[in-house]
């Protein structure tokens, strides 16, 4: 439903008494993709999930380079591989593509190789109706030119089937690109959005290449737009709330949320080098190998990573939560290390495991980076469930900003306790209650509950109203007018 109102921030609140924006956490699920072939290893990473017809694919970097902790690395070549799901995104299998030879055989799922090392190769499926069929699969790849030549460039590859990628041209943007650079087609504004990496100094000066790089330079996310994928308008850094703390953002993972047409959502990895807190590592996972890892990887032996969440209505200015969305979790042998919490690019809708339960959102996260072979685990969220408006047991009330009724029925995505509830009254533009448009108190847990009024909502179609929402021990995730004109 493209006119869905998400209760993810205070954007639609005119007045608020006792209701807060509540951030939800994902549920850890099954291993969706196990990477145990000889061309895979501890450096598997940077991946995207795309929908092709009625199936899903994951494209990922496979890298068999073994961990350099106790001995020299086992040599190997990084490649780009594909896995496909036949159960709606719950699990993934590796097809035999038979295109590239690895260790004397073409029995593998490799779709892209090159002589130079591969750090990133981000694949997306282009939904632009004017996109040529031979370019429906697009991929962006960093080309390292060396410090003397200014750092890196971003090169565009295209494919008709997603298995045979051909080099096209360099993109006319400047950045460092040693990250997962992503691009999307925005149906609403009919243009491509490109998100990529560069640096700035603590004083705020942008640095678009590696020349003179300093350890205190901050990694940030930049955005460019294009109507034709050739001419790019550069808009500089994405922005956050004024005065919000700056820290290292290693990735961005910005995509369009698939249940609306105006919401961007991103899951950047946040990096923190805790080199001055070295005593803590004595009690952390891999404490017995910490010194060796630090000697080999320097800062990557003392840095830890997690993931935050950010949303936007225009793709340029983002509301970023500083509290972590994903953390490495309870201390184990293979976490609390550099490389944790890297999400696969993209969100998909999957069937719930519980019989009769509604569909949910699935996304994927790599595990075990540099410790053992990286596998990809599935996580889930409720539909629209990243945030909600929440009122505690004592209750709360929101009066929304003016909305135009675009359908014949109002549906809500909500959850209450056994003693809680949600009641909605329609008001005119001045906040005066409209006769016949006060619902009863609803309780339960549904992603699609119709709201019943004494009078027909069709009588108000096209008119401007406000919603007065009374809540008690309840979450409201979203609402939508269905049956659009």
> CA 480 → CA 6, 14, 200, 412, 448, distances in Å?
9, 18, 41, 7, 9
Q: CATH topology of 5-10+14-21+388-482 equal to that of 25-382?
A: no
pTM for this prediction: 0.95
Tell me, which fold does domain 5-10+14-21+388-482 have in CATH? Jelly Rolls (2.60.120)
pLDDT at 279: 86
Per-residue pLDDT tens over the stretch 277-297: 888 888 888 787 777 777 777
Tell me, which fold does domain 25-382 have in CATH? Tachylectin-2; Chain A (2.115.10)
pLDDT at 74: 57
What's the CA gap between 235 and 193, in Å, rounded?
10
What's the CA gap between 58 and 463, in Å, rounded?
44
Whether residue 405 contacts residue 432, with contact meaning beta carbons closer than 8 Å, is answered with: no
What's the CA gap between 176 and 182, in Å, rounded?
14
Q: Which residue has the tokens 């899903």?
A: 56
> CA 73 → CA 14, 38, 67, distances in Å?
59, 14, 6
pLDDT at 185: 98
Whether residue 462 contacts residue 485, with contact meaning beta carbons closer than 8 Å, is answered with: yes
pLDDT at 334: 81
Whether residue 331 contacts residue 31, with contact meaning beta carbons closer than 8 Å, is answered with: no
Classified as helix, coil or strand, 19 is coil
Classified as helix, coil or strand, 438 is strand
What's the CA gap between 396 and 410, in Å, rounded?
21
pLDDT at 77: 82
Centroid of chain to Cα 448:
24
Give the single-character DSSP code of 292.
H
pLDDT at 1: 45
Question: Alpha helices of 66-110 — where are they, by DSSP H?
Answer: none
What's the CA gap between 122 and 142, in Å, rounded?
10
Classified as helix, coil or strand, 93 is strand
Enumerate the domain spans of the chain: 5-10+14-21+388-482, 25-382
The low-confidence residues of the chain, meaning pLDDT below 50, are 1, 68, 485
Longest dimension (CA), the chain: 77
pLDDT at 485: 38
Structure tokens at 245: 């703390």
pLDDT at 326: 98
Whether residue 375 contacts residue 33, with contact meaning beta carbons closer than 8 Å, is answered with: yes
């Amino acid at each position: 439903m493209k006119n869905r109102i998400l209760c993810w921030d205070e954007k639609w609140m005119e007045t608020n008494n006792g209701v807060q924006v509540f951030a939800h956490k994902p549920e850890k699920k099954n291993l969706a993709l196990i990477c145990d072939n000889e061309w895979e290893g501890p450096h598997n990473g940077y991946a995207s999930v795309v929908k092709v017809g009625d199936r899903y694919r994951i494209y990922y970097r496979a890298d068999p380079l073994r961990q350099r902790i106790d001995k020299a690395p086992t040599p190997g070549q990084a490649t780009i591989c594909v896995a496909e799901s036949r159960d709606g995104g719950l699990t993934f299998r590796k097809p035999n593509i038979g295109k590239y030879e690895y260790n004397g055989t073409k029995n593998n799922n490799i779709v892209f190789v090159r002589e130079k090392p591969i750090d990133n190769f981000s694949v997306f499926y282009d939904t632009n109706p004017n996109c040529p069929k031979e370019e429906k699969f697009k991929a962006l790849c960093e080309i390292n030119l060396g410090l003397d030549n200014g750092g890196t460039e971003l090169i565009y590859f295209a494919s008709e089937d997603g298995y045979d990628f051909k080099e096209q041209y360099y993109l006319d943007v400047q950045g460092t690109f040693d990250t997962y650079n992503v691009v999307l087609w925005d149906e609403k504004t009919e243009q491509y959005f490109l998100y990529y990496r560069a640096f700035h100094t603590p004083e705020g000066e942008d640095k678009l290449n590696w020349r003179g790089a300093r350890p205190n330079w901050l990694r940030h996310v930049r955005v460019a737009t294009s109507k034709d994928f050739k001419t790019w308008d550069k808009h500089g850094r994405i922005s956050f709330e004024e005065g919000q703390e700056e820290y290292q953002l290693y990735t961005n993972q910005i995509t369009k949320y698939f249940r609306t047409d105006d919401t961007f959502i991103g899951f950047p990895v946040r990096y923190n080098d805790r080199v001055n807190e070295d005593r803590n590592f004595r009690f952390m996972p891999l404490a017995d190998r910490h010194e060796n890892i630090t000697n080999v990887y320097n800062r990557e032996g003392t840095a830890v990573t997690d993931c935050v969440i950010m949303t936007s209505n225009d793709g340029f200015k983002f509301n970023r939560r500083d509290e972590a969305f994903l953390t490495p979790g309870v201390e184990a042998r293979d976490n609390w290390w550099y490389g944790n919490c890297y999400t696969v690019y993209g969100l998909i809708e999957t069937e719930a495991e519980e019989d009769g339960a509604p569909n949910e959102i699935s996304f994927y996260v790599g595990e075990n980076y540099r410790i053992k072979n990286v596998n990809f685990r599935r996580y889930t969220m409720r539909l629209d469930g990243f945030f909600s408006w929440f009122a505690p047991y004592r209750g709360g009330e929101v009066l929304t900003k003016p909305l135009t009724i675009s359908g014949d029925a109002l549906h809500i995505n909500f959850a209450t306790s056994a003693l809680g509830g949600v009641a909605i009254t329609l008001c005119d533009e001045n906040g005066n209650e409209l006769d016949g448009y006060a619902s009863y108190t609803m309780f339960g847990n549904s992603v699609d509950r119709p709201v019943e009024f004494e009078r027909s909502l069709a009588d108000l179609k096209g008119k401007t109203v406000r919603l007065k929402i009374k809540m008690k021990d309840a979450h409201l995730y979203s609402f939508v007018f269905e049956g659009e004109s």
